[in-house]
Amino acid sequence: MKLKLDRLNRFNGRPGPLVFIIMDGIGIGKNDESDAVFVANTPTIDMLRKLELQVSLKAHGPAVGLPGEGDMGNSEVGHNAIGAGRVFDQGAKLVNRSLKTGEIYKTELWQKIIERGKQGKTIHFLGLLSDGNVHSHIDHLFALIRKCEETGIKNVRVHTLLDGRDVDRKSALNYLDPTEKLLKEISGRGMDYRMASGGGRMVVTMDRYRADWNVVKRGWDAHVHGIGRTFSSATEAVKTYYNEDSGATDQYLDSYVIVDDRGEPVGKVKDGDVFLNFNFRGDRAIEISMAFEDDDFDFFDRGNVPGDILYAGMLEYDGDLKIPNNYLVPPPDITKTVSEYLCSENVQSFAISETQKYGHVTYFWNGNRSGYINEDVEEYFEILSDKIEFDRAPKMKAYEITSKVIELLETGKFRFGRINYANGDMVGHTGNELPIITAVETVDECVGRILERTKELNGIVIVSADHGNADEMFVMKNEKKIIKTAHSLNPVNFFIYDPLYDGEYVIGDVKNPGLSNIAATLLNLLGFEKPEDYDDSLIKFI
């Protein structure tokens, strides 16, 4: 069915383009030394804060489909909410519900897993071991492990990826200790449940957007073949890495392989085994899924691939590409995104970011849909990210993005464009203050350039964010500075920069405004009524 938008009676938009800028990871902090946006030199943001047309938005918890107010938002659910114009239950919330109701264990897939386990095959679990609740949750892993024991599965192996990003940067032992304890307790009851391999999430397994396949290869070698530096336990591995480099943080720890008394890897994958990825977020689970499932895989040498592996994800990580083939919990069915409506109205648009966030302004924005909605009216641009630690190059590709955006605007072809600047989030995750400040200043400068050019073109610019990060570089506990690498729970700004503004509209009175209110606002500023089932616009016409 072709979607249709009604035109507004009193507003047709501006003569020039509508540009939507997402300052990824730049929220509203405390205006103190912990807040990079406050510390940095940000003349553009300072100017925007003086505008009449602005409001703060919630970007975490139920406002983006997550379970509770303590659940930090992330770029994936944030872009889903912005692009969909409504809130859908997401990741952790879907898994929590499925585990609570037991639906996850009633599926045909779970029965196949149990059948293999009872035939003596090993059930392998792989995922991010933390309670960050962004990619995974340790409680989900524990629930699945306990269900395996309850069902009589004899052999289980756990491959642990270390976080240090969505949780404290050196907190791995807080999660490894209870996991090893649980596995030991179950093994003491006649089972064989053990830790098998792991490593830091940024260097082992969890690459995304095909930025560096060597990350996936290190994980593949450790998880599947037992190739890597060997230790008697995961806790020994982490403690050793800490001792060897006092500045080492969890997300960058090298791979490790657990061996028995004979020095043999305890968790090599064998023919017919089951391999379950318990991450629920898709972007950093797709590539390892491809390595397990693609017959014509050629991104690295996988060696002797075990036969007849039953691989599955917690969720479907890519709905269009059907990755993976098997998954435990169905994903949200996100339909009628703002881009679908704009395409139906033949609104020429572009989307642009660098590799690290390219999927967010395309795949996640479009409701977890790969590729174009309508290539005749859309153009997507990816600026390739550098393959180095982000604090070493905090300007990332912001200048290149900006130059390309200005080039696109000057063609006069596009009515709408969306941009993601990744700096505040990606550099924010490093916890290094000076690079984070540089990242914020870089984005501020680039946003200023786009504002200036759009003003010359008689257009409008909306500036917002998908969640906070750089706005909270550290917290104080017992008078001690604790570096913070995770997203913040802070709200984000929403600014409307409209140089031709003449009082045609004002900020409305939406209760508890959030990211999902942005889509209706974009449509209004393009001269369209919002769809009936969209969340309310942030503006009202007078």
pLDDT, tens only, 423-474: 999 999 999 999 999 999 999 999 999 999 999 999 999 999 999 999 999 9
- Continuous segment of H or E residues that includes residue 194: strand 192-200
Instruction: Give the pLDDT score at 316.
Output: 87
d(CA 282, CA 294): 17
Q: Which residues of 343-376 are buried (b: 16+ CB within 10 A; e: fewer)?
A: bbbebbbbbbbbbbbbbbbbbbbbbbbeebbeee
Question: Given this model, what pLDDT does residue 499 score?
Answer: 98
Catalytic residue positions?
A: 75
The domain 92-329 having CATH identifier 3.40.1450.10: the answer here is yes
Tell me if the domain spanning 18-89+334-541 has CATH number 3.40.720.10: yes
pLDDT of residue 377: 97
The confidence score (pLDDT) of residue 319 equals: 64
Q: How confident is the model at residue 283 (pLDDT cuts 50, 70, 90)?
A: confident
**Strand, coil or helix: what is 492?**
strand
Q: Where are the domains of the chain?
A: 18-89+334-541, 92-329
Global pTM?
0.76
pLDDT, tens digit, 9 for 90 and up, residues 152-173: 999 999 999 999 999 999 999 9
The pLDDT score that the predictor gives to residue 477 is 81
- pLDDT score for 138: 98
Give the helix/strand (H/E) hosting 19.
strand 18-23
Encode pLDDT of 305-332 as tens digits: 999 999 999 998 876 577 999 999 987 8
Look at residue 404 and give its three-state secondary structure: helix
Residue 70's pLDDT is 80
Please compute the mean of the pLDDT values over residues 113-126 and round it to a whole number: 97
Per-residue pLDDT tens over the stretch 56-103: 999 999 999 988 888 888 898 999 999 999 999 888 889 999 999 999
- Categorize the per-residue pLDDT at 292 as very low, low, confident or very high, splitting at 50, 70 and 90: very high
